[in-house]
Structure 1
Amino acid sequence: MPDWIYALILGVVEGLTEFIPVSSTGHLLLAKQALGLPGGFWDTFCVLIQLGAILAVAALYFTRLWAVATGLGSSPAARRFTFSVLAAFLPAAVLGLALHDVIKAVLFESPIVICISLIVGGVILIGIDRFAPAPKQTEAMDLPWKTAFGIGLFQCLAMIPGVSRSGATIVGSMLLGVEKRAAAEFSFFLAIPTMAGAFAVDAWRSRDQIDLDHAWIIAVGFVVSFAVALVVIKAMLAFVSRRGYAPFGWWRILVGAAGLAILSLR
């Protein structure tokens, strides 16, 4: 198949999975393995197209985010929200810079780690959906900075492919007393600096791998992931409000078990 079809497939996978707690990175890397794509450029591609999905958050929440940006000088609420997102972003920023090469060189090439992480994370999601403490915070844009920092520590677990950035932050949020819909929304907001930072670091460190031929392939994945994520974000909030997170947990277990079964036959 031509490269643009691979880019389209991976863009759809990214858009479908970035904001639901099933691990977009895990699904992307398993899809890359299933398609027989090598590492190197395609690992970088899987990181870079995540920015397309992140821009979907900025588009859907533009009015609220613009109000925050223009109100920083006059609104305590805007400053509190900005500080909480930065507090949550800080742990992953520090560890991500320190461990970038190890994560990409070792963990990105381990499908067994991804499958096990999917299964373990699925069990945790099912458990947290049933046994989470009663929520004390119901508004994603009004979290105390200490709660936000705790969520950021949970986000660091997502450096292991298969754990899921959104899954780790949602589980952490709910354990810290954030209502499930608000947990999802804060995960969306936190994704903006986290994934923008990951994009910038990976784009810079992989700049020698990206030429004009690669740029248009990345553009295909970028646009597709943006378009698909626009639909998924709206659908996820409605789904979570009705059904919770257990269905995502069962999906993770199914995909992880299927992956291990396929690996055992090789």
Structure 2
Amino acid sequence: MTESIPAEFEALDERFAGVGGDGRIERIYHGCRWAEGPTYVPAGRYLLWSDIPNDRMLRWDEMTGTVGPFRTPAGYSNGHTLDRQGRLISCEQGNRRVTRTEHDGSITVVADSWQGKRLNSPNDVVVRSDDSIWFTDPSYGILSDYEGHRAESEIGGDQVYRLDPGTGEVTVVADDFVRPNGLAFSPDESLLYIADTHHRHLRVFDVRGGVLENGRVLAECSAGGFDGIRLDTTGRIWAATAEGVHCFAPDGTLIGKLKLPEKTSNLVFGGLKRNWLFMTASTSVYAIMTNVRGV
């Protein structure tokens, strides 16, 4: 059953003005161990997300409000996105790979190694308009059996990768992160934002073809560490934190917050107008209709 709580927007800057919408936040599901990786599928008007320790993916139907299983086991999946053909791209921590779910339901492995070494545990993923796939690969899924399978890293570091759409080659685009996590492109795809949860900061890079340049720290997290991130059409960055969602201007200024009663892991804009903000937070999934639209 859907529950609701008052929406607690905290404006810290005039650039946050007007983002609010509904006065209440809906909790559309409760009962996860650690909810992550929300992805909205417009063709079916439903939301998918991962419940990592329970090794399952769940599905919320926008038309009926019902929640049911989508995939179990799910390879201890974490982050998801859609490619330009509407196919689901998933980071499977337990299977240490990135996969694509085809339209017929079959699963294709798109990346599971780099230079002959197994990936650590892919965490989050985005697809650029040239069909290249960019993903983070921290070691969370191999640190214990809680969110994957305990193992030693074959690579020896936590890196960020790009998968070439033509050749299928996996290349390193950033190798100086401790725990790379959420990532997202700017609206024009000239910038890539990447969270480093360990250092509790958000970095931004210039994108030059398939290469990242000029990496710099854009923002520091004041509530835990950054996790998943998304952008709206104005270029504002929305980041999951320990107290909810923090919103940053493109220059890195913290301009506002949307507070939740649970530690927030990730978020996605969805709905027919991309103005629903869905947030996975510890045991629950929350949703609110806003006045902004996601990229």
TM-score, normalization by structure 1: 0.24
TM-score, normalization by structure 2: 0.23
In proportion to residue count, which structure has more strand? 2
Q: Which has the higher contact order (CA 8 A, sep 6+)?
A: 1
In proportion to residue count, which structure has more helix? 1
